[in-house]
Amino acid sequence: MSEYRITTDEIKTAAEYLKAGDTVYLSGTVYTSRDAAHKKIFELLEKGEKLPYDIKGAVIYYAGPTPTPEGLAIGSCGPTTSSRMDVYAPKMLDMGLCAMVGKGPRSNEVCEAIVRNGAVYFCAVGGAGALASKCITECEVTAFEELGCESVKRLNFNEFPLTVAIDSHGGNLFKN
């Protein structure tokens, strides 16, 4: 297992050498999207309307941060169970999504789409949302404000600790 410090702009290139089990300290722009936001994004796609962020090259964090306390960039921000987004992930990966951050295993269809698109799936530590929030320096609601904690937010990660769970070559911590 290796350890890397990479930015979100480098993920597509890094996906070529990252292996399941590697530790990554990720910095850069990441968007939160959970169940309700994914549903709304797919409604926009069906209507041919503009999306709240460019999927191509994006990193999605499956999280619904708690309200932001005064003086902090964000409230507690731990990962949610990724499999709830499995119905959406293959299409998003085919549209150019380069990485997802969450927790737990993914479906065979998602695993195949990760490999097909040279993407990567990272896991964050569950149950440590308050600690994880210390690695987030900015948070801005960018879409679906009416969804509250499930709105789409643009985050800035600063060396956010992650584990490569499924790599672009088919390595999978949940199956190996």
User: Six-digit token pair at 175?
Assistant: 């199956």
Dist CA 116 CA 16 (whole Å): 12
User: Six-digit token pair at 127?
Assistant: 């149950």
- The amino acid at residue 39 is K
Dist CA 77 CA 2 (whole Å): 26
Which CA distances in Å does 122 have to 2, 48, 134, 141, 143?
A: 14, 30, 18, 23, 24
Active site residue 38: yes
* Active-site residue, from 38, 40, 103, 153: 38
Dist CA 59 CA 31 (whole Å): 6
Residues 6+ apart with CB under 8 A from 140: 153, 154
Dist CA 149 CA 63 (whole Å): 8
Dist CA 8 CA 99 (whole Å): 9
Catalytic residues: 38
